Each structure stands twice: as C-alpha cells, then as structure tokens.
Amino acid sequence: MNGAITMEASRLRLKGELRMADAAPIWRDLRLAARSARADLAIDLREVTLIDGAIMSLLVALRTELAARGVRSTIEGVPERIQPLVHLYRGDEPPTPPLPRVRTGLIAQLGMRAAQTLEGARRLVQFTGQITAATGTTVRRPRTAYWRSIPPLAERAGIDSVPIVMLLNFLVGFVMAYQSARQLKLYGANIFVADVVGISVTRELAPLMTAIIMSGRSGAAYAAELGTMRVSEEIDALRTMGFSPTEFLIVPRVIALVIAAPVLTLLGDVLGVFGGAVVGQASLGVSFRGYFNELQSAVLASDVWTGLVKSLAFAIAIAFIGCQQGFAARGAAAGVGRGTTTTVVMCLFTIVTIDTLFTVLFRIFGA
C-alpha cells in the first residue's frame, strides 16, 4: 500500500496514494483508527496525492458508520484536484445515519400478512376478470387472438414433454404393480394387478404426474417469460402499440396447455399400464394377454375421461398461475426468480386441491 493512515487525537490523517487495489487494508485501517473516536472526528486529506472513487466511497461509508455511533465527522484539507471527486460522492455533505430498526410486534406482523393476502386476492380477482373478458372477446372476434403462436407453444408444452412423461408414468405404473405384488401373491390374486394399476393410473396418477411435469416445465416457463417481458417493459410496449397483452400473450398459452394436457395424459395412461404389465409378466406370472384382457374388464371409459377432465382443469390452473405470476413480477432478475418459484409451489398446491375436489365430486355423483 502506497498510502498511510494515522490517528492523532481527534484527527484522522490520510497520506500518499489511495487506490482501489488496496481497498481491503485501507478499510481495515480506517475502521481500526476511527474506533477510538468519541465526539468529533476530522478526516484530513491534505497529504493525499491520489485517491480514486472506491476509496472515496469507503470514506463516505466510514462517516455513515460514525454517525450511527453519534460521532460527527468532516472531511478537511481537500486538495483542489480532489474536490470534484469528494463532491461527486457527497463527501462534503453531512452523512445520513441509518434508520434504526423498528421491531414489529406479533399483531402488526399478522396485520401486514393479512393486508398482503388481501392485496394478492384483489390482484387475482382482477386478473381473473381480465382473462374472462379476453376469452369472451376471442370467442366473439376470433381474429383478435394471436393464433399463430399456439402451435409452437403447444409443441413446447406437449411434444417436448413426451419423453419425461413417458418415462415417469411408466415408472409410476411399474412401482404401483411392484408394491402390490406381495399382497396379491398372498391372496392368489395375481391377475388383479391389472385392476390396481389400470384404475389408479387412469383416474389419478397419470393426470397428476403429467400435471406436476407441466408445472415445472410450462408453468415455470410462462412465469419466467412473461416476468422478463414485464420487467423489461415489453408488455407496456404492447399496450402502447394498441395490443391487448391478455389476448396476445395469455389466451394462446392457455389454449396451448389445454390442447397438450389431455394428449400427454392419454400417453401417460398407456405407459403406466404398460409398466404394470411388465411387472405382472416378470414377478406375478401374468401374461400380457391375460393382463390386458383383465384391464379391459376393469378399466371403464368413465375412468379414462375422469382423468382427462382432471387434466383439463390442471392445465387451466397451471397456465393461469404461471401467467399471473409473470404479470405480477416486479424488479429485475430477483423478481422474475421469485415469481417462477412461487408459480411452481402454487401450481403443486392447486393441483392437489383440484384433484381432491374432483375426487369428492366424482364419488358423490358416482362417476
């Protein structure tokens, strides 16, 4: 270090060249020398030959730290060539001490949480109204929708998800059959592996697993894309040009996911029951012919369309949450990241809630 820092009574003297390369030792020496200050402290720059912006910012930070301790400080003896830099960093102004932290009581925290929840509910209702109005406009005037964006969006949500949907549902059917194998063998009911796997996969597991995959892929992607457009003011630019962001951005994404979800669910049904057939053949001695014959008698058309109805509801919820979180993003990258994370969590919670509601409704109506 080409400079020096000394403390004399209530005067902090800086000498020589003070550069950013020596910022760490300079900051350490500054805090160590100023530790003994109790009332007033003068920071003397008379003998400074060179100082850059990084060290100047450290001096300003030191003055703020001293102000928090109740110590008044001034920068004195500033050479003429350094005065513009001192003025730029507001070193010639009184420092502003940091605001004291105010502890918030439990009741106040509950009130703040309640206010945040109500504000979130208000935005959700407002967003729902916007989507409903945009959907009605699209139905009345189909030309207002951006139909050309639907095929690539459906491809990304559907075709690109096929490998992971196939693998995951195959493994789910495989595990279901494998976990049931011991109990079925115990009662000599090996053939009923088709019933266990077929009904559970078509009614519950295939729609649920497919929706979880779509939450992580499509829901998060929608939130990230629209959130980036929001913080970069592209959505405001669309409004300026006379386009409705809801009709231009949200409606195509909802339609694409509604198209992709039932197809992926049907594919998951096929791979799930095939995974059970593999276990039936390998562990239970059930032939493929016997397995699929039992499957035809066990699984009804109502079981399949029940899963498809659930998949449609899941798709609408995922697209809705992803788009809403994208439009609600604020700030920069951190805001987009929070929105994406919130989207995945909300989608998973909503999917399980919708699945529970549909299960109860289907049981009540005997479906």
The DSSP result for 20-88, as a single string, is: GGGHHHHHHHHHHHHTT--SEEEEEEEEEEEE-HHHHHHHHHHHHHHHHTT-EEEEE---TTTHHHHHH
Predicted local distance difference test score (pLDDT) of residue 207: 93
**Residue 204 main-chain phi, psi, to 5 deg:** -125, -60
pLDDT in tens, 195-206: 888 899 998 899
Give the tokens for residue 348.
Answer: 């998973």
SS3 256: helix
pLDDT in tens, 289-307: 888 888 888 888 888 999 9
Domains of the chain by residue range: 3-88, 144-364
- Reply yes or no on domain 3-88 having CATH 3.40.50.920: no
Q: Is the pLDDT of residue 271 over 90?
A: yes
Residue 351's pLDDT band (boundaries 50, 70, 90)? very high
How far from chain centre, in Å, is Cα 294?
Answer: 44
pLDDT in tens, 111-130: 888 888 888 778 778 888 87
The answer to which of 93-102, 162-171, 188-197 has the lowest mean pLDDT is 93-102
What is the pLDDT averaged over residues 149-173? Answer: 88
Residue 273's pLDDT band (boundaries 50, 70, 90)? very high
The mean of the pLDDT values for the chain is 84
Q: Is the pLDDT of residue 79 over 90?
A: no
The answer to which of 140-149, 213-222, 307-316 has the lowest mean pLDDT is 140-149
Q: In what order do the strands lie in the sheet with 72-76?
A: 3-8, 11-18, 40-51, 72-76
Of 220, 203, 208, nearest in space to 261 by CA: 208
The Cα 13–Cα 3 span in angstroms is: 10
Residues in the chain: 367
Predicted local distance difference test score (pLDDT) of residue 98: 63
What is the pLDDT averaged over residues 69-97? Answer: 81
Sign of torsion over alpha carbons 152, 157, 159, 163: positive
Residue 310's pLDDT band (boundaries 50, 70, 90)? very high
Q: Is the pLDDT of residue 252 over 90?
A: no
What is the residue whose two structure tokens read 């699984």?
299
Indicate the residue type of 134: A
Predicted local distance difference test score (pLDDT) of residue 1: 60
3-state DSSP of 297-316:
HHCCHHHHHHHHHHHHHHHH
Predicted local distance difference test score (pLDDT) of residue 210: 92
Q: Is the pLDDT of residue 264 over 90?
A: yes
More confident call, 328 vs 213? 213
Of 316, 323, 324, nearest in space to 350 by CA: 316
| Runs of H (alpha helix) within the chain | 23-34, 53-68, 83-88, 106-140, 150-157, 162-186, 193-200, 206-214, 220-231, 234-240, 245, 251-283, 288-298, 301-327, 333-364
The Cα 132–Cα 141 span in angstroms is: 14
Quote the percentage of the chain above a pLDDT of 90. Answer: 17
The Cα 349–Cα 212 span in angstroms is: 10
